[in-house]
Structure 1
Amino acid sequence: MDFRVFVEPQQGASYADQLSVAKAAESLGYSAFFRSDHYVAMSGDGLPGPTDSWVTLAGLARETERIRLGTMVTSATFRHPGPLAISVAQVDEMSGGRVDLGVGAGWFEAEHQAYAIPFPPLGERFERLAEQLDILTGLWSTPTGDTFDYTGTHYTISNSPALPKPTQQPGPPIIIGGKGKKRTPELAAKFAAEFNVPFSPLDEITTQFERVSAAVAAAGRTADSMTYSACFVVCAGRDDAEVARRAQAIGREVDELHTNTPLVGTPAEIVDKLGAFADSGVERVYLQVLDLSDLDHLELFADGVVRQLR
C-alpha cells in the first residue's frame, strides 16, 4: 500500500507551512505531497488566506527532490483548459517529471462567489470537465511541430502550438475521483491513471471501485492500468491520550472519527483496520493532514504504519 500526504491550505496555511510539510513528507518516505485546490475555508477564518495550488506546487517543485506533487483536486471551473495545460506542463518540467493532476468538476459555490468565478449548473460543470480533459490530453500529446484544434460545446481551440510539453509523456498522470454512478467511472476509464474515492466508508468504496473496474474493462483497458485510492483524515497517536489531543487540535471528536476513517488510533490499530480496505482494492491512501504544524504526527505514522504496509 502506498501512502501520500494531502493538506487543505485554504483552512489556514502559508506557503512556508506547506513547504515544511512537503519536506517532512519527502524525508519520511511518503510517495507524494498533495494539496487541495480551494480559495475559501470551509470553517474558521482561513488566515492568512488562500494560496493558489499551481503557484504553490511550482515553488515546491524547486524545493523538493524526489516526492511527487499534485492536486486533490483542481477544479475545472477555476481555469481555462489551455492555460491550465501550460501551468501543469511547466510545473512538471520544473519538478523533473513529478506531477500528478487530480481534476474534478468543482462543487463549492461560495468560493466561486467570493472570487468572481462563474459557477454553472452541475450538468454543465461535468461537460466542461470532459472537454477540459480532451483538451489537456490533446495538447500534451500533440507532436512537437504540429498544431492542435478542438471544437466542443464550451471550448474551441484553433491552431494551437500545443506548447510547452510536460516532461512526462504523453502527460502527467490524471486522477479522477468521486461517487457518481455512471459519468464519473466513464471519465475515469477514458482519461485517468488513478481513481480516488474521498472520505467514504468501506462499502461505498468497494461499490465505486466495482463500477470503475467495469468501466475500465468496457473501455478495453487492462485491469492493472488503473490505480485505486482513497482519502481519509488522519488522527494517530501512541496512546489514547495522544489521539484525543490530536483530535481536539483539529476540532474533531475521537468517537466521530472512529465512524468515518480507518486512520484513527494507535499505529497498530490503524494497520489492523487498513487490512479490510486493502482487501477491497485500495492500493493508495491519502492522509488528510489538518494540523500542518504537527510534523511529529507524520513521523509517527511513517514509522508505525507506512513501514509495515509499504
Structure 2
Amino acid sequence: MQTQKTIDEYNLFGTYLEEIRRGKKISLRVFDEHGLSSRTFQRFVKGESDIRITDLALLVEILSISPFECTEKLMGLSTTVTHKIECLSVIYQKDFQRSTQLIKEFKEYIQQTPFTLGKEEALYKILSSDFLLNPRSEVSENEITVLEHRILKRLQNATVYTLYDLDFLSYQQLNGINQVSPRLFLKVLKMVNTTPLTDVQSNQIVERALINMLLNSIRTKKYSNVLLTVQLFESYVISDHNWYMFMWKKIADYIKKGMQQKELTPSKWHSFKQDILSSLSIFVPLTQINHIQNQLNLIESYLID
C-alpha cells in the first residue's frame, strides 16, 4: 500500500510558492530575517524536503497569500478532490461510460492508499450520484448504504464538526437513498455556525446545506422539519447583496405558511414559482435562472407525489 507521501501529489505546491516569491520580487533574505531558513524553503521548492506547518504559516505572511488561496491550491493538487470533481462532472453530463471507468480508478486508488475521511465522503458522493443518475450504474444500493452508515457512525460519535461534515450531510439528505434524522444535521450546522465564516466558499456550503435541508423536509412531508428549517433560515444572517438567500428565505416562509394553512397545492405553488422566475429574469443570467427553476420544479414534484 502506498502512502500519500510517496504519491507526491502536493509536490507542486512548493513551485507555486516560488512563483509567487519571484513574481513579487521577495528576496530569500527576507525568509532568514523571519527565522525561516531560506535553504529549507529552496529544498522544499525542489521537492527535496517537507516544510513544517509553522513555517508554512510564516510563508503565508511573508508572501502575502490568503489562507483561502493556499487551501484552494492544495485542494486542486489533491488526487481525491480532482477525482471527485471529474467524476461528478461526467456523471452530471451523463457520460456514464466515462464515469464508470473513473469510479473504478478511484476505487483502485483508495485500495492502494491508507484511509482518510475525505476519501470516504468523496466516494459516497460519487457512488450515490452515479446510482441515482446512471440507468446502467454498476453501483449497488447496498454498497452505498454500508458506506453511508460507516460515515454517519463516525459523525454521530464525534464531538467536533467541520464544514465538510456539513457538506456531506447536506448531500446525504438530498439524495434520498436513506432517511436520517435531522437531529445530527442540526447539531453539525449549529456547531459550524458558532464560527464566523468570512470566505465565499464556506458560506456557500452552509447555504447549500440549509436549502437541501428544506428540500428534504418538503420531500418527506414532515411539517416539524419544515418548521425547524424555516427557523434556521430566519436566524441565518444574510449580507445585503445576497439576493439568492433572501429569495430562499421568502420561499421557506411561503412553504411554512402554506403547510400551516393546508393550502400548499401544486397549482398555488406553480403561480408562486412563476412570480419568482419572472422577477429574477430582470437581473439574473439565464443559466442561473435555469438552476433555480430546476430547484423550484423539484419542490413542485414533491408536492404532486
Greater relative contact order (CA < 8 Å, ≥ 6 in sequence): 1
Q: If each structure's strand is expressed as a fraction of its own residues, which one has the higher value?
A: 1
Q: If each structure's helix is expressed as a fraction of its own residues, which one has the higher value?
A: 2
Give me the TM-score of the superposition, normalised by structure 1.
Answer: 0.27
